[in-house]
Structure 1
Amino acid sequence: MARPRLPVGTYGKISAKKDGSSFMASCQYRDVDGRVRKVRCWAATKAAAENKLRERLLDRQIGSGQIKPDTKAVVVGEKWLEEFREQVDLGNRSGTSLDTYEQRWRTLVRPRIEGLSISELTAGRVDAIVQTINKEYSASTARTVRAILSGVCGLAVRHEALKVNPVRDARPVENRKRKKPARALTADEVLDIFAKADADEIAQRQDLADIMRFYGGTGERTGEGIAVRWENIDFGKKVAWVEGNMVRTKADGAKINEGKSANALRGVPLADWLVDMLLDRRARVAARQGIRPEELTGWVFPNTLGGLREASNLRRDWRAFRKRHGIGDWFTPRTFRRTVATLVTDALPAREASDLLGHSRVSQTTDTYIGRNLPSRRPAVVLGVLDVAKNGSKTAPRSESKNPRP
């Protein structure tokens, strides 16, 4: 009876023998193309040669797409990151997400699973890792770690090294801290900040006065405002077209991506006062370049050399402005985005604000971006219909109870 063939991605018995001054360990390995090949390794001792061969066979399995239950968890993690990088190159994933995952993997996840095989990443171990990070760092960091572990274990499931993804049975991440309400500005506070920027020579030199007005009039994301070009502004229709978002990644440096969601690429209607500001700015910039305003192209808010402004540099200038004028650290470029969401939803349906901000869901606008620090009087006005004296109701007075509540 013929000997049964090795399954694809597996190897036969390892043998070792003396080969000159060292030992050679070898075995038969069946590759993904179905062919059986001999694999050899040499070392000073028999045990060392056999262990070296086992490591090479494991690398060969991983390289050929084979993940086994005894494959090291860190090896599977590296393969998952490699696949994520490929998706970034194809434009299916965000480069900033890759940077975050790589940093969390290197500093938080890998050290905690260094000695485990993928089959030893049980729901209990995953839960312990995630909950410990939640306690020592934050809920946001713990959720990122959970997402990484889910991706790694999901890859193992697809290779049939695990039957189920253990992350799904781990406890969800609970935020121990009460979430602070979104901080939005009132219209008077916005005008006061504009006035401070107008009177601040440093802010004028850094373009902060115009940038703040643009964010205050559009609610655009920080990177979207940086990426706006003169060609994207239709002064006739009073619309600024958002065609990208400035991001910086380790792989590509500063670049313009297509936005955070399908709704990110959109037209933003401009108020008359903002159109006037942009027209004045365009005229001043064109005059310095010796061209007609209509011929001006390029970034609306460039850096000092005329190139793409860095978000980190804008935030640095913003912090310095904040410090000069005694404004709290809650005031960031995103504060204007929350302010726009709040002012618009106070007067219009939430869908209008959601479309303006480029959110994929209205709930994202209402739950995250609307400032709730100032109660509206409109509900109280509506409930005025219950005013007994005003409406002349003949409702009988409440009878005295024998056992009144305290």
Structure 2
Amino acid sequence: MARPRLEPGEIGAIQIRTLASGRVQATAKMRDEIGELRRLKSIGGTEDEARTGLAKQAEDIRYRTVGPVLALDATIAQACEVFVYEKEQSQTVEDTTMESYRSTIRHVVNPACGNLPLKDLSVLRCNRILQSIREQKSLSAARRARSVLSQVCQTGIEHEVLTANPIRDARRLPLPEKKESVLNPAQVMVVQSLIHDWRKDGDGYGPRPNVAVLEHVMWIMIGTSARIGEVLGLRRCDVDVTSRPATVLIAGTIKQSKANGLYRKNTPKRSRQKRRVALPSFSAAAIRRQLATADRDPEAFLFSTKTGRPLSVSNYERLLRTFVDDNAEGLRRAGIDPTEFSTHIFRRTTATIIDAAAGITLASRLLGHANEQVTRSNYVVTAEMVDPVTADIMDDAFTAMLGTAGSSLGSDLL
């Protein structure tokens, strides 16, 4: 009778024999995870050592063919390691995203539940874990943990440790509070005036910063609603100030990671968000002034350091925070909340103006969003006053009826 065929990952019968030297040899056959038959051999001082060596060989073969495999009793920390390994091997996730995953696992997930066996992660435990993270750290940390844990549970399903993803049935965490600060055109002009006067006369704050960069980036962001990284990633070849109207191609963004340092990613945040935007006159003027100082190379950045490297997002945001700190009182007098003044306020301003004038579809397209709901939920600030045209519409619908002769309601109201 033929021996039963070994299943992928299965080790056959182990043969043990003692060698002339007195050491013990263990041999066996194994079918790896892709179906190929492998021969295993291990020698040790004792039978236990030989068997242990054989098991180690089998584990190494599994790792080389399919990577690490989760055991049924694997902890969440071990599952996180496998999740990170598989994401890295897929080469579909940006290095900055991988750094965010690792940071969330190291500082949030593992301290909260790393020792818990993955198979014991129930919906109830998910709710308690996420609530604990929210209370002890922050809502943002809890939301990041939920995202990572959901993907880790999916890894558990693929490795047949879980049959369902308990995170998906856990209670939803509240959304972060929506930022409502936007600038009206008059407030933008106040900001420009404050930038022009900032440390102009050496008023004891230190050397005068590069106010031209601060102002030009502001006008380009307001005119295009591009992200700060997308603006800093603009090169001479991306702008055309000879056409009418002038245009800019948003086709890259500045990124920074531990692995690769500061670099330009040759797509926006998402590759599908590549777009060419017509520039209002004030943005075109800002770009022309910046072009006058930029290197003549077509690949040269509009905003760069003295060595030609791109200006980093963190450096620009640090410059903006310093401006806000120095001019907090002036911003308050203009009705601007300094605590909400960041690069996002320029993007929200443009989105709100475009939505009010031309609708959410055009605003979403300008911002580079694939989903209009993202634009509405995060960027467009709805005016408190509903368009008065609603009163005219309702009057037109009911005036004839209320004015009908014999209508007591009509005679009372009209």
TM bucket, shorter chain:
0.7 to 0.9
2:288 is aligned, of 274, 279, 304, to 279
Over 3 Å counting, the alpha-carbon distance change for 1:112 and 1:61 in structure 2 is: farther
> In structure 1, the residue corresponding to 2:384 is in which secondary structure?
coil
Instruction: Output the amino acid matched with 2:324.
Output: R
Instruction: Give the superposition deviation at 1:336.
Output: 0.1
- Counterpart contact for 1:228–1:300, Cα < 8 Å: yes
* 1:289-304 matches, cutoff 5 A: 298-304=300-306
TM-score (norm 2): 0.78
Stretch moving more, 57-66 or 3-12:
57-66
Instruction: Give the superposition deviation at 1:231.
Output: 1.3
Give the distance between the partners of 1:130 and 1:26, measured in 2 at CA.
48
Instruction: Indicate yes or no: 2:356 matched with 1:346.
Output: yes
Over 3 Å counting, the alpha-carbon distance change for 1:143 and 1:216 in structure 2 is: same
Over 3 Å counting, the alpha-carbon distance change for 1:280 and 1:315 in structure 2 is: closer
Instruction: Give the superposition deviation at 1:95.
Output: 2.4
Structure 1 residues 123-170: Cα deviation after superposition (integer angstroms, max 9, x where no partner): 44444333322333334332332232232232332233433333333x
Give the distance between the partners of 1:260 and 1:100, measured in 2 at CA.
15
Give the distance between the partners of 1:94 and 1:341, measured in 2 at CA.
27
Stretch moving more, 121-130 or 274-283:
121-130
2:203 alignment partner in structure 1: none
Instruction: Give the superposition deviation at 1:316.
Output: 0.8
Over 3 Å counting, the alpha-carbon distance change for 1:172 and 1:38 in structure 2 is: same
Over 3 Å counting, the alpha-carbon distance change for 1:50 and 1:396 in structure 2 is: farther
Give the distance between the partners of 1:108 and 1:119, measured in 2 at CA.
20
Over 3 Å counting, the alpha-carbon distance change for 1:19 and 1:141 in structure 2 is: farther
Give the distance between the partners of 1:220 and 1:125, measured in 2 at CA.
41
Instruction: Give the superposition deviation at 1:246.
Output: 1.1
Instruction: Output the amino acid matched with 1:254.
Output: L
1:77 alignment partner in structure 2: 80
Structure 1 residues 301-339: Cα deviation after superposition (integer angstroms, max 9, x where no partner): 112433111111111111100001014121111110000
Instruction: Output the amino acid matched with 2:7.
Output: P
Which structure 1 segments of 5+ residues have no match? 399-406
> In structure 2, the residue corresponding to 1:329 is in which secondary structure?
helix
1:308 alignment partner in structure 2: 310
1:401 alignment partner in structure 2: none
2:205 alignment partner in structure 1: none
2:253 is aligned, of 236, 245, 248, to 245
- Counterpart contact for 2:42–2:53, Cα < 8 Å: no
2:155 alignment partner in structure 1: 155
Instruction: Give the superposition deviation at 1:217.
Output: 1.8
2:239 alignment partner in structure 1: 233
Structure 1 residues 146-198: Cα deviation after superposition (integer angstroms, max 9, x where no partner): 232232232332233433333333x13322x7723432111111111011112
Give the distance between the partners of 1:277 and 1:178, measured in 2 at CA.
34
1:260 is aligned, of 253, 257, 269, to 269
Structure 1 residues 325-384: Cα deviation after superposition (integer angstroms, max 9, x where no partner): 014121111110000001111111211111111111122112210124x534x6235425
1:64 alignment partner in structure 2: 65
Give the distance between the partners of 2:9 and 2:320, measured in 1 at CA.
57
Over 3 Å counting, the alpha-carbon distance change for 1:27 and 1:304 in structure 2 is: same
- Counterpart contact for 2:178–2:377, Cα < 8 Å: no
- Counterpart contact for 1:30–1:37, Cα < 8 Å: yes
Give the distance between the partners of 1:70 and 1:54, measured in 2 at CA.
17
* 1:351-370 matches, cutoff 5 A: 351-370=361-380
Give the distance between the partners of 2:189 and 2:25, measured in 1 at CA.
78
Structure 1 residues 77-119: Cα deviation after superposition (integer angstroms, max 9, x where no partner): 322212212333xxx3232221111111122223455445543
- Counterpart contact for 1:341–1:370, Cα < 8 Å: yes
Instruction: Output the amino acid matched with 2:247.
Output: V
Give the distance between the partners of 1:120 and 1:29, measured in 2 at CA.
34
Instruction: Output the amino acid matched with 1:274.
Output: S
> In structure 1, the residue corresponding to 2:273 is in which secondary structure?
coil
Aligned residues: 381
Give the distance between the partners of 1:114 and 1:352, measured in 2 at CA.
45
Instruction: Output the amino acid matched with 1:256.
Output: R
RMSD value, Cα: 3.6
Instruction: Give the superposition deviation at 1:203.
Output: 4.4
Give the distance between the partners of 1:54 and 1:123, measured in 2 at CA.
35
> In structure 1, the residue corresponding to 2:153 is in which secondary structure?
helix
- Counterpart contact for 1:228–1:242, Cα < 8 Å: yes
> In structure 2, the residue corresponding to 1:28 is in which secondary structure?
strand
- Counterpart contact for 1:230–1:296, Cα < 8 Å: yes
Give the distance between the partners of 2:152 and 2:355, measured in 1 at CA.
41
> In structure 2, the residue corresponding to 1:38 is in which secondary structure?
strand
2:133 alignment partner in structure 1: 133
1:396 alignment partner in structure 2: 411
2:177 alignment partner in structure 1: 179
- Counterpart contact for 2:139–2:176, Cα < 8 Å: no
Over 3 Å counting, the alpha-carbon distance change for 1:116 and 1:282 in structure 2 is: closer
1:330 is aligned, of 326, 332, 340, to 340
TM-score (norm 1): 0.80
Over 3 Å counting, the alpha-carbon distance change for 1:112 and 1:209 in structure 2 is: closer
